[in-house]
Amino acid sequence: MGFGSNDQFVFVVDAPCAVTDVFKGTITCSADTSNAKVVAVRREDSLPSGTAPVAYFDLPSQIRTVENSPSASDYNIVLANYSGYGPDPTVKGVVSVYWDPASKSFKQRWFNDAIQMNGIVSQSRGSNLAYSSGTASDGTYHFYGIRIFNDANGPGGAVVVDKQVADAATVNSAFDAGNQAVINDDRSVVWSTGEGIVRIVQG
């Protein structure tokens, strides 16, 4: 994340991880019991003198595991709790974290604990939405779009798109067990399931 002359990082998200060593971008961890955290390692060729090579940010305690890769756009990260390889509507939580160059630290932009996104979240600058899909509390499966940044239409973290794509009996036909929602040129969204492919188009 980051580009040009800005701060640049390689980052991961891990729950039981206390960094013990960083060598040429390789992160060595030991187990701990702290919250899941963002662990960001600066590129060696962009590390200012006297600057710590690793930056941390503790995530909300509800974020138990992040099997899927978090997505980054410039300095903004969006990541989601992971329910596993089967539908589990009890595992919820999507969070946005960003790097603040002024304070040289990560900060939380918003946290939505009401929905589940079980794939790699895709960020769209054009729509200002982060897209993925997940199981709702009633067992149905939904495609979601969450507002990334505050804008004239409302605050970041709000659900803007909520489309049911499968009922509880057919949830596996749409269930995303950790893939990424791909945004196409025609503004449709596609993701893979264990039984096929789902494509969402604008109505």
Q: pLDDT tens digits for 22-62?
A: 555 555 555 555 667 777 777 665 555 666 677 777 888 88
CA 39 – CA 195 distance, rounded (Å): 35
pLDDT at residue 58, as a whole number: 81
Q: 3-state class of 171 per DSSP? A: helix
Name the domain count of the chain: 1
Query: What pLDDT was estimated at residue 36?
Result: 74
Q: What is the mean pLDDT of the chain?
A: 81
- What phi and psi, each to the nearest 5 degrees, are found at residue 109? -85, -45
DSSP 34: S
Span of 44-48, 108-112, 149-153 with lowest mean pLDDT: 44-48
CB 98 within 8 A of CB 111: no
Indicate whether 38 belongs to any domain: no
Statement: residue 157 has pLDDT above 90: yes
Give the CATH number for residue 145.
Answer: 2.130.10.10
Rounded distance between C-alpha atoms, residue 88 and residue 135, angstroms = 7
| Per-residue model confidence (pLDDT) at position 71 | 84
pLDDT at 59: 82
161 found inside a domain: yes
Return the residue matching tokens 């499966």: 141
Per the domain annotation, does 113 fall within a domain? Answer: yes
The pLDDT of residue 3: 63
DSSP codes joined into one string, 139-155: S-EEEEEEE-S-BTTB-
Is 193 within the bounds of a domain? yes
pLDDT band at 174 (very low <50, low <70, confident <90, very high): very high
Please check whether residue 193 is in contact with residue 176, taking contact to mean a CB–CB distance below 8 angstroms.
Answer: yes
Q: How confident is the model at residue 185 (pLDDT cuts 50, 70, 90)?
A: confident
Report if residue 36 sits inside a domain.
Answer: no
The DSSP output letter for 120 is: B
| Spatial contact of 81 and 64, defined as CB atoms under 8 Å apart | yes
> Is the separation of the CB atoms in 146 and 157 below 8 Å?
yes
Give the integer Cα–Cα distance in Å for 99 and 120: 20
Residue 133 belongs to a domain: yes
In a domain, 15, yes or no: no
Q: Which domain holds residue 88?
A: 64-200
Residue 50 has a pLDDT of: 60
pLDDT, residue 187, reads 85
Residue 95 included in any domain: yes
